[in-house]
Amino acid sequence: MKVLALASYPVEAAATRYRLEQFIAPLAERGITLKVSPFLNSRQFASLYNRKRLPRTALGLVGSTLRRFGNVIQAQNADVVLVQREAMLFGPPFFEWLTGRLGKRPLVLDLDDATYVSYTSPTYGRLGSLLKWFSKTDELIRWARVVTCGNRAIAEYVSGKGGRARVIPTVVDLERFRPRAAAAGSGPPVLGWVGTHSTFKYLAMIFPALRELARTVPFRLKIVGAGVEKIELPGVEVENLSWNMEREIEDFRSLDIGLYPIDAKLYADNWAAGKSGFKAIQYMAVGIPYVVSPVGACVEIGEAGLTHLFASTPTEWTAALKDLLTDEAKRRRMGEAGRRHAEEHYNVPLQADKLAAALGEAAGNAGA
């Protein structure tokens, strides 16, 4: 079977890297050839959230749009077209219509985020909202033979729209994401967070709890991907690094405890409810315990008290982190339990089987 995957972003984006690219080899072992074609290239993606580069970004988007017409031709040689979120970052589902509806290719839609919920872009504001065409996702759900969903909340939305939903969580290659062989060093334990500029605000919510914690327990704080040049927390030793794809695994492996705060208030909005809880899976993969806000998919990932601890209020965050910081044996037990949990439930072969089945299901129902 030949599958053409149309992605919004290049491999630097987690959605493309972990929901498409890492499945090329496993799917090949299952008789499926997957070709990934991103809308943006790496250079465009690097400048996408920089308003100062808007003219150059706009010009690049024109070129990306023109290149998508080549994918329409390629789709005629594919058995299935797999769309990761959307084929184009803006406007209506034009290329999905050309390949799936007009070109009669079976369509599989992959949703790892609640892209059906409208929002205001923190970078482009109302301009971004005007261009996004938020009703696109509902149209794609109707057109798709199968919709692969990052979590149960998205699957429930898809089913409510009459779509055929299949839950496939975002996972990592456990042969690459492995626990470190020994402790990182003789210094204090490292609390850490690896994220993006758009989610850094969630980490900032627990800064008061971290300052309070530092008064009684020594630790270092490692922040990766915040998109902020300088982060100062009185009384806390902070290492602030930019995100780097080549260093990503080592950044996770360098931590002793993972941080995963989420603003529960946002769960009145279905956008946040659609988040997949991927960071929790990454923490478990490298064998470290983590503290997480008990909301959305994070409630269903891992085993509370065994692989991680929950915290909602500043007091709960301080208590949970102090518990782990002062008990090295407990950190080790929870990290080992998390790794076992990831091996059993969030491994690539298991999810590759699910993806292969979904693609086969779509191809088999092409004439439906």
Summarised one tens digit per residue, pLDDT across range 277-299 is 999 999 999 999 999 999 888 99
Which regions in the chain score pLDDT beneath 50?
366-368
Are residues 122 and 21 located together in one domain of the fold?
yes
Q: Provide long-range contacts, Cβ within 8 A and 24+ apart, for 253-256.
A: 253/178, 253/179, 253/180, 253/286, 254/180, 254/184, 254/190, 254/192, 254/222, 255/190, 255/191, 255/192, 255/222, 255/283, 255/286, 255/288, 256/184, 256/189, 256/190, 256/191, 256/192, 256/288, 256/331
- The answer to whether position 275 is within a domain reads yes
Are residues 330 and 355 located together in one domain of the fold?
no
- The answer to whether position 327 is within a domain reads yes
Are residues 125 and 221 located together in one domain of the fold?
no
Q: How many domains does the chain have?
A: 2
Q: What is the pTM of this model?
A: 0.91
Domain hosting residue 334, numbered range: 190-345
> Who's near 279: CB < 8 A, 6+ residues apart?
194, 195, 258, 260, 290
- The answer to whether position 148 is within a domain reads yes
Are residues 44 and 64 located together in one domain of the fold?
yes
Are residues 232 and 300 located together in one domain of the fold?
yes
- The answer to whether position 181 is within a domain reads no
Are residues 7 and 151 located together in one domain of the fold?
yes
Give pLDDT, residue 270: 57
First to last CA, the chain: 18
- The answer to whether position 55 is within a domain reads yes
Average pLDDT, rounded, for the chain: 90
- The answer to whether position 183 is within a domain reads no
Give pLDDT, residue 367: 43
- The answer to whether position 194 is within a domain reads yes
Are residues 31 and 112 located together in one domain of the fold?
yes
- The answer to whether position 184 is within a domain reads no
Are residues 139 and 223 located together in one domain of the fold?
no
Are residues 297 and 150 located together in one domain of the fold?
no
